[in-house]
Structures are given as structure tokens and as C-alpha cells.
A and B are shown apart, each in its own frame.
Chain A
């Protein structure tokens, strides 16, 4: 596990474990729309596609991927809303 001092505090965590592709991304987009610029959102996903798709979506949508960590049976993807 990586702990870096520059990692910003998580504003909101979405537990999308048990949701299948593209459910976790759908939930993340909804959360981002409800958030303010600078908010940091973590999404938990047990779906295999999301750890590939969500970082690519983050890049395309112009946000920042803060962290992607594989935990016990799920991935935590952390994104900072930039726009």
C-alpha cells in the first residue's frame, strides 16, 4: 500500500462493490456531478472492467486520478474533481 503525503483527503466514498460494468462508473459520474471542484471521491469496485475504464474516463473527462489501489477483493479508485 502506498501512502504519500500529497494524497488529499477523501471527501466522499462510493461503495459500488457488487455493481457490474458500467455501474461503478455511472455512480462515480453522478457523484462527481454533485460535487464541487477540488472534492476528492473514492469509488470501491469489485467489477474487473472498472479499474481499466474509470482511469481512462477520468483522463478524458479532465479530472485527476489520485490513487488506484487493489484491496481485499476490490479496487479503490480515487479521483479529484478538477472542472
Chain B
């Protein structure tokens, strides 16, 4: 069985989350398992009351980057949350919240969007990761 792709999402801005969602969807399209581990500000972006909100962009985007991202969205680009939903429909995508970040942000499982499958610690994440690459975004 192919080793999974393992994405640790730390940043909570829409551009980085979108990049992560596209990487997830591409791997899922090839039938490769994907484990997504949500930490810090990425986890906060998955709160069910905020997931569709504007989460800003990475500082390097600047004004021109903001305009480019807005233009693509206006042209019909799917949100990162929608891309992740599509990826999960394909199967093999597991999204887990980091338990430490849950404590940090005072979150309960019920506060999170249904895209999130559960809460686990870093050891469980590494065990699921097996020998596959770990990518930090």
C-alpha cells in the first residue's frame, strides 16, 4: 500500500489553506491516503462558525496578491473548504485536530466543521503517517 501524504496545517490564511486543499485533492484523486493534522491558526479556521469567513492572506501576498486571489474567487474558484469536501468524497482523506491546539483555543469537537474527523495527539498523527512525507504548511 502506498505511503500516505501527511499535511500539518499551521497557518490559517485562505491562500495557504487553499494550497493545502489542492494538494489534498490531487493526492486523493490518485488514490493516495492523506492525513491532515490541524494546529494553531489552521485549526481555528475550521471552526464551524468561521470556516466560510475571510481568513486573510499570508503577509507576502500584498495588495496585488489580494486582488489576484479575489479575482480568481470572483471567477468561480471553489473555496478551500469546498475543495476539501470534494477530496473527502473521493475517500482516503482523514482530517484530525491537534489536541494541544484544541486546548489552546478552548475548542470542543462540536465547535468544529464536520470536515474534521476527530481530535488526536501528535503521536497518533505520526503513527498514521507511517513512512510517508510530513509537509508543514
Contacts and interface: CB of A to CB of B under 8 A. Distances in A.
Interface string B65-86: 0000000100111100001001
B29 A26 contact: yes
A70 B95 CA distance: 37
Chain B interface bracket (under 10, 10 to 19, 20 to 34, 35 or more):
10 to 19
Interface of A: 18-23, 25-26, 29-30, 53, 57, 60-61
Contact of B25 (A18, A22, A60, A61): A22
A44 to B, nearest CB: 14
B86 A26 contact: yes
A29 B22 contact: no
A57 B29 CA distance: 8
Contacts of A23: 78, 83, 86
A29 B29 contact: yes
B76 A20 contact: yes
A49 B25 CA distance: 14
Contacts of A29: 29, 90
A20 B78 CA distance: 7
B26 A60 contact: no
Given A20-B75, A23-B78, A25-B25, 6 more contacts: A20-B72, A20-B76, A22-B25, A23-B86, A30-B86, A61-B31
Contact of A60 (B22, B30, B75, B77): B30
A19 B25 CA distance: 14
Contacts of B89: 30
B92 to A, nearest CB: 12
Contact of A25 (B29, B72, B75, B76): B29
23 contacts: A18-B75, A18-B76, A19-B78, A20-B72, A20-B75, A20-B76, A20-B78, A21-B22, A22-B26, A22-B83, A23-B78, A23-B86, A25-B25, A25-B29, A26-B86, A26-B87, A26-B90, A29-B90, A30-B89, A53-B26, A57-B29, A57-B30, A60-B30
